[in-house]
Structures are given as structure tokens and as C-alpha cells.
Chains A and B, each alone.
Chain A
């Protein structure tokens, strides 16, 4: 496991010295700022006390707007595309895999780095919670649940991105595959608004990341959703290890 830590460290350092990191983070922070402004302006325009107690800008901030999902769907592929596909394109996969490390360590190391990227995107958003708390009440329980939900989403989607990066031979292809896979997952959740019977709505609702974050944002920690996130994570990481092992049989 020391090898996984070594790989994660190198990955994080190399990410934060690349211009990509700052472009992504800057665009993300600007987009989130714009979203916060829109939500605050909207909330301010509403008559006092008209919304329910849980209907706050912060509730909508994570997962309540299309802008948020659009950003996540674009930025997750950008953050994960280089993890393994870049190594495979540069040929550095060869020294990496001929070092005394197992494929599992490589995948876990890369994944740990990916989770750090994800968390680093959300640290700046804490400022909005602080801003809101200066002018109103912030429910710390709901806030914690929201961040837990966002973390769960990151765990599973970054794992999917890593899997695509393990399959693809170039970062661009990895990014496209990730975008398609995550877009597909997101669309699947929209099924609950399309189908009319209760069973379908419930099934699609269970897949829906939108529903997940909505639930967490009201302060409800639903273990089913966490189970879904962790299962998807485990599956994607397992497949990524297998994809890496399968490389040994190719030319």
C-alpha cells in the first residue's frame, strides 16, 4: 500500500503543477459563484417566509440546478482523463507496471488522487455556506449531509472516470467515454419523470443522482444511496484493475 500512496502523491503533485488544474478549478469556482448569485437573488426576490424551512439557496446549490450538473458532467472527465490514459500514451505505463507494484496498488493510488481532486473542487464552495450563515441560518446537519452526498457522488463518478482512463489509450478518448457514461447515468435518472407507473419511477429514482443529492440536501442520509455510490465505485475500480491486467495480453 506504500506504493499506492507513492503513486497518489506523484499524481496529485503533477496535477497541481499543470495548467489544467487551475483552468478547471477557476472555471468551476466562477460557475459556482454565478450559481450562488442566481440562487441568492432568486431567494431574495421571494416574499419573506414563503418557502419551506428546507427550501434554502444551499439546498439548491448542490444538485438542484442544471448548471451544477453541466459543470460536474464536464469536469469529472477533465479531472480523470489523464490518470491512466496519459501514462499509456506517453509509454510511462511500462516503467510503472514493471516496478514492483501490483495493478491494485496502481488503481488505488490513482483513485486516491482522483478523490483528492474532487474534494479540492468543493473546498472553495464552503465559503458560500459561511456567507449564507452570516445572513441567515444554516442547518449544520443538512449541510453535512449535503457534503456527504456530494462526496458519495464524487467517489462513484471519479471511479467511473478512472475506469474509462484505464480502458482508453489517449486522454481525449477517456474524457469522451467518461462523459458518455456519466451522461448516460444522469439521463437514466430522468426516467422517473418520463414513466408513469410507480415501479419504474422508483427504480429510476434509485439510479437518479439528482434525487440522491436532493435527498441529502434536505438533511436525509439515505443509506440506499450511499450503498449505490459505494457499489458503483467498487465495480468501476474492480473493472479498472482488470482492464490494466488485460493490457499484458495486448501488443
Chain B
């Protein structure tokens, strides 16, 4: 379990992370989402003890990570961004070293290394020199490192960056398989990955949490309500009439005539009501054959993300005045230009 409260990180004048609070329950997989430079890596580095926060608290399984860092780190398997490795070592050798460093009992090191290699699907690269591996393979060795001591909590910083589609799928499957018995906090800016693997999403922008919730709920919270698309044979008016009596429907909107005899329409209903069956039965009763009836993906997570990280976040930021982390330079000139860009 990870509990983060009012976490803040300042570098001189710049505020990279501001008052971030979130919680990852036991066995939960939470996606940590945000554009590049939003403060994702900084937050994860504070959670894993690599950086000291300027304010706030971090609890790892109830342990105060700032007061007892070694105890907290023992519970976390962390995969840093770009997973830096020692170029001169071989993958197995490196994982043996990491297992020993993480306190895996001597008798279990060999089996732990093999398990981690298998879980991260890099068994075939086990005897290769790390400096000669491709980025994707190095990335998976980093993942194996996070898994090698079998920690209850995993913190993965962009685990699929640099992987090909097959490898991305393998990593997704792995994270999904971990759900339930491991607590996982995974950062990414690849949205389909989040929808596929995470039970909950925390969206961070310019160092602040702008939205939190299940991917599906986030989608509807931005569009407001659910809608269906239907296509059938009949006149638009006939569909309007047939659906008028169905409870839960807010509006029926004729879109266009597909051909002489077919029409398309959008049916919008109140939030959380499943309309599909009622619409089907009403159309059947009115003798209007349907050939397509599907939920409309009104807002993809992309749209939610885009909306949250452009408009809403700008509104939130406006009163604070100081623009949070926009880059690595911290000289005055950069700050000034940042403010101008802001206004």
C-alpha cells in the first residue's frame, strides 16, 4: 500500500510537484498519467526514496518512508525511467548482484533471478552483456530487477518506453497478472496501456493531481452520460417515435441517412443506465430492424487527457502565478519566459 499526502518538491524557485496526494491500495494497479515534464518521475523518485520531498508524507505499507527509508525501500521494487544498468555486467550477473543487495537469502538468489528473467520475458538475454543490449531488452532487464526480490509493491516508471508492440503486450500482460497480489504504481503517457491494465488512474499535470478515478468513470465524467449509436432500416421520424417512450433516454438525434432506407442515430441517456436492451426491444416492437447498435466511445481517454491537461489545468494554475517544472534549466531568464508563456 502506498499513501502519499501533500507531497511537494521545490527546486529553488521552481515547484516540480505541488501538494500531490494519492493512495494505492493493496493489490491495486494504479496508472500515473501525465504529459512529459508533469512531475511523474519526480513523484516516483520521492516515493522510492531517491529524492527527498520538500514537504508532505509518504507511507509504504504504513511505514513512514522518510523516517525509515531502508525499511520502506525493502518493500518496493522500483524500475527507474530508462532503467540505467552497469554496461560491463551480464544480465544474470547483474540480477544476482541486485538480489543480494536487496537481501534475498543466498539459497534463493539463483531461483529468484530465473523467475524474474522469466516474468520479464528476457530469459534469452540472460548471458548477454548489458551494454550491448537493445533499449527494449535493457528496459526488461530493469523490470526483472524490480521483480527479483519479489517485493509487495512495484513502482514502474514508463516500463513500456522503447519496447516494440509485442513486448508492450508482454509487459501489459505481466502487470495485469500482478494485479490482485501486488500493489502497482505505473507511470506512463501511453493511454491505451492505462485502459488495458489499470484499475484506477491518477492524472498529474504541472506538478498537481488534476483528476483521479477509474478509466471508464473518467471518460464519462468528461462527456457526461452514455450514448449509443444505432443504424437501422426506417424513416428517422419512425425511430424518434419508437424511442420516445423508452425510460432513461434523454435525446434521440438523427445523424444522417446512410442510404435510401437506412438511418443512423445517436441515443443519449442518463449516466449509468444501460440503454442497449431497451432500445433494441423498442425498435423491434415498432418493426424497425436494426443492423448496428453499439455504445459510442464518446470520449477516449486521449480526449479526457487532452482536455484535463490543457484547459482545466490552465484554469487551476492561473491563480498560483509560478509555473511549475517546465524543463531542467532553473535560471532566472527561463523562469521569466515561462511566466510570459503562461499569461
Contacts and interface: CB of A to CB of B under 8 A. Distances in A.
Nearest to A103: B69
A10 B73 contact: no
A248 interface: yes
A18 interface: yes
B54 to A, nearest CB: 9
Given A14-B89, A91-B82, A95-B84, A248 B52 contact: yes
Contacts, number: 75
A22 to B, nearest CB: 14
A18 B131 CA distance: 13
A92 B84 CA distance: 5
A97 B50 contact: yes
Given A3-B101, A94-B80, A248-B52, A99 B85 contact: no
Contacts of A100: 70-71, 73-74, 101-103
B88 A18 contact: yes
Interface in B82-99: 82-89, 97-98
A38 B97 CA distance: 46
Contacts of B328: 251
Given A90-B84, A95-B84, A98-B78, A7 B330 contact: no
B120 interface: no
A227 interface: no
A148 B265 CA distance: 92
Contact of A91 (B11, B52, B80): B80
A249 B97 contact: no
A94 B74 contact: no
Contact of B73 (A14, A18, A98): A98
Interface string A102-133: 10000000000000000000000000000000
B196 interface: no
Contacts of B89: 10, 14
B73 A251 contact: no
B98 A95 contact: yes
B162 to A, nearest CB: 15
B50 A94 contact: yes
Contact of A251 (B48, B76, B80, B330): B330
A98 B80 CA distance: 9
Nearest to A18: B88
Interface string B92-118: 000001101111000000000000000
A101 interface: yes
B238 to A, nearest CB: 65
A249 B84 contact: no
Interface of B: 11, 16, 45, 48-52, 69-71, 73-74, 76, 78, 80, 82-89, 97-98, 100-103, 142, 145, 328, 330
Interface of A: 2-3, 6-7, 9-10, 14, 17-18, 90-92, 94-102, 248-251
11 contacts: A90-B84, A95-B84, A95-B142, A98-B50, A98-B76, A100-B101, A100-B102, A100-B103, A102-B70, A248-B50, A251-B328
